[in-house]
């Protein structure tokens, strides 16, 4: 199976299928692409195509997919079954919320450490994630072999911290700040921009209310 040819829209839908499959009653043994499409309000042909791209075992005619196997296939495909270590910088409200978020481990990501520059926070922990002085970033990252850096600081500090992370061997940045980050080729940046979501909602709402045509 060649994972590199998968389209971004398909990749966005796979965790949605996975989430739905996990929410099914435990005695659900098999499910058809038609049923998945119906439940999620998606196009059936699309669902069939997505699932066959990600599932090694495939569905059986008239039987559909074995739910347990399909869950395993999707998790394997999405890389959830090999754990990758991450650090988080900026233990404010958003950072704190992310440190408490239970969904990381299910996605194969473990936050190994958090960093802040507030003396009141350094040396404490959220859950079992220790909070270190930001000056220890390089040392901790190298020691623990960290691959993913999560930035939840304000935008003015983001680029400097991003550079430090890359110097410490980090390959992927999950950026919650509004800063635009400059990175060398080959480094992954995923921007989580609430303003983009707000724009999509605002725009859809204006259209819905019929105020868009001028």
The residues in 64-83 that bind a copy of itself, with binding defined as CB under 8 A, are 78-80, 82
The answer to the question of residue 45 lying near a copy of itself (CB under 8 A) is no
Which spans in the chain are helix H?
8-22, 33-40, 44-54, 67-77, 93-100, 103-106, 137-144, 155-167, 194-208
The answer to the question of residue 19 lying near a copy of itself (CB under 8 A) is yes
Least separation in angstroms between residue 136's CB and a copy of itself is 24
The answer to whether 192 and 149 are in contact (CB under 8 A) is: no
Q: Which residues contact 142 (CB under 8 A, 6 or more apart)?
A: 168, 169
Question: In whole angstroms, what separates CA 105 from the centre of its chain?
Answer: 11
> Which 193-212 residues touch a copy of itself, going by CB under 8 A?
193-209, 211-212
- Kindly tell me the burial class for residue 131, based on how many C-beta atoms sit within 10 Å of its own C-beta (0-12, 13-18, 19 or more): buried
Least separation in angstroms between residue 67's CB and a copy of itself is 16
The answer to the question of residue 25 lying near a copy of itself (CB under 8 A) is no
The answer to whether 86 and 49 are in contact (CB under 8 A) is: no
The answer to the question of residue 62 lying near a copy of itself (CB under 8 A) is no
The answer to the question of residue 125 lying near a copy of itself (CB under 8 A) is no
**Alpha carbon distance 163, 182 (integer Å):** 9
| Beta bridge mates, 177 | none
Which segment (11-19, 45-53, 61-69, 129-137) binds a copy of itself by CB under 8 A? Answer: 11-19
The answer to whether 119 and 91 are in contact (CB under 8 A) is: no
Nearer to a copy of itself, 62 or 108 (CB): 108
Nearer to a copy of itself, 111 or 134 (CB): 111
Total residues at interface with a copy of itself (CB under 8 A) = 72
Which segment (13-21, 59-67, 114-122, 128-136) binds a copy of itself by CB under 8 A? Answer: 13-21
How many residues in total does the chain contain?
214
Provide, for the chain, the percentages of residues in helix, strand and coil under a 3-state DSSP scheme, each rounded to the nearest 5.
Answer: 45, 20, 35
| Beta bridge mates, 66 | 30
The answer to the question of residue 24 lying near a copy of itself (CB under 8 A) is no
The answer to the question of residue 28 lying near a copy of itself (CB under 8 A) is no
> Which 134-193 residues touch a copy of itself, going by CB under 8 A?
147-148, 155, 171-172, 174, 178-180, 182, 186, 188, 190-193
Nearer to a copy of itself, 124 or 193 (CB): 193
The answer to the question of residue 127 lying near a copy of itself (CB under 8 A) is no
């Amino acid at each position: 199976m060649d994972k590199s040819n998968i389209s971004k829209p398909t990749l966005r839908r796979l965790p949605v299928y996975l989430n739905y499959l996990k929410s099914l009653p435990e005695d659900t043994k098999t499910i058809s692409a038609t049923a998945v499409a119906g439940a999620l309000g998606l196009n059936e042909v699309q669902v069939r195509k997505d699932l066959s791209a990600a599932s090694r075992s495939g569905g059986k005619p008239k039987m559909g997919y074995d739910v347990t196997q399909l869950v395993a296939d999707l998790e394997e495909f999405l890389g959830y079954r090999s754990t990758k270590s991450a650090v988080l910088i900026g233990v404010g409200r958003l950072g704190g919320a992310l440190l408490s978020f239970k969904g990381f481990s299910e996605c194969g990501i473990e936050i190994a450490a958090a960093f802040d520059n507030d003396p009141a926070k350094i040396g404490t922990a959220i859950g079992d994630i220790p909070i270190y002085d930001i000056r220890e970033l390089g040392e901790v990252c190298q020691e623990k072999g960290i691959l993913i850096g999560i930035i939840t600081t304000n935008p003015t500090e983001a680029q400097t911290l991003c550079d430090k992370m890359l110097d410490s061997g980090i390959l992927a940045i999950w950026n919650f700040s509004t800063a635009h980050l400059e990175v060398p080729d080959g480094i992954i940046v995923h921007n989580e921009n609430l303003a983009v979501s707000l724009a999509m909602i605002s725009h859809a709402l204006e259209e819905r209310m019929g105020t868009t045509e001028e």
